[in-house]
Amino acid sequence: MPQRVEAIKGAPQGDTASAKAAAKATLDVLKRAKKQRQPWLQIWSEAYDYVLPMRERFLGGTPGERRTNLIFDETAVVGLPRFASRLVAGTFPEHARAFSLRPGKFFPGNPNARGVQKDLDEIAELMHESMRTSNFSAELHEAYQDLGLGTLNMTIDPGPFTGDIVTAAVPLTHVMLLNGHDDRPAAWVTESKHTLRAIDKLWPRANIPVAIRRKFQDDTELSVVTATVDRSTPSELFAWDLSVVLLTEEIEIFKEEYRGIGANRWLTSRWSKQASEAYGRGPVLLALPAIKTCNLVVELILENAQMAIGGIWTYDDDGVFNPDNIVIEPGVFVPRAAGSNIDQLLSGARFDVAQLVLEEMRKNIRKALFIDELEREGKTPPSAFEAAELRADAAMNMGSVTSRQVKEFHIPLVQRLAHILTKQGAIEIPRIDGKQLTLVPEAPLLRAQKHQDLADFLGYQGDLRGIFGDQAAMALTDPVEAAIYLAGLRGVPARLIPTKAKVEATLDKARQFVEQNPEATEALSNVRS
Beta bridge partners of 267: 154
Band (pLDDT 50/70/90 cuts) for residue 164 is: very high
| The pLDDT of residue 10 is above 60 | no
pLDDT given for residue 268 in this prediction = 96
Say what percent of the chain tops pLDDT 90: 38
- Alpha carbon dihedral 68, 72, 74, 75, in 10-degree steps, equals -140
- Do 399 and 452 form a contact (C-beta atoms < 8 A)? no
Distance CA 206, CA 400 (A): 43
Cα first-last separation, the chain: 57
Whether the Cβ atoms of residue 247 and residue 191 lie closer than 8 Å to each other: yes
Average model confidence (pLDDT) for the chain? Answer: 81
Q: How far apart are CA 24 and CA 29, in angstroms?
A: 9
Residue with the larger pLDDT of the pair 100 and 502: 100
Put residue 490 in one of left, alpha, beta given phi > 0 → left and psi -120 to 50 → alpha.
alpha
The model's pLDDT over 396-420, given as tens digits with 9 standing for 90+, comes to: 677 678 888 889 999 999 999 999 9
* Measured CA distances, 338 to 184, 319, 320, 323, 503 (Å): 81, 12, 10, 17, 104
Each residue of 498-528: pLDDT tens digit? 666 776 777 677 777 766 776 655 554 554 4
* Cβ(438)–Cβ(101) below 8 Å: yes
**pLDDT one-digit tens code per residue, 220-229:** 899 999 999 9
Give the tens place of pLDDT for each residue, 422-459.
999 999 888 888 889 998 888 777 666 566 666 777 77
Position 2 pLDDT exceeds 50: no
Predicted TM-score (pTM) of this structure: 0.78
Q: How many whole angstroms separate alpha carbon 38 and alpha carbon 28? A: 15
pLDDT at position 228:
96
* Residue 361 binned pLDDT confidence (cut-offs 50, 70, 90): confident
* CA distances from residue 164 to 91, 417, 432 in whole angstroms, order as listed: 21, 10, 20
E strands, 260-409, are 266-270, 312-315, 342-345
Residue 379 scores a pLDDT above 70: no
E strand or H helix that includes residue 430: none
Q: Is 339 left (phi over 0), alpha (psi -120 to 50) or beta?
A: left
| Mean pLDDT of the region 250-267 | 94
Q: Hey, how many other C-beta atoms are within 10 angstroms of the C-beta on 135?
A: 14
User: Is residue 68 pLDDT above 90, yes or no?
Assistant: no
Q: Are 152 and 144 in contact (CB under 8 A)?
A: yes
More confident residue, 326 or 18: 18
pLDDT (0 to 100) of residue 55: 86
Quick one: pLDDT band at residue 1, thresholds 50, 70, 90? very low
**pLDDT tens, residue by residue, 114-132:** 788 889 989 999 999 999 9
Percent of the chain with pLDDT over 70: 75
Per-residue pLDDT averaged across 370-379, rounded?
Answer: 63
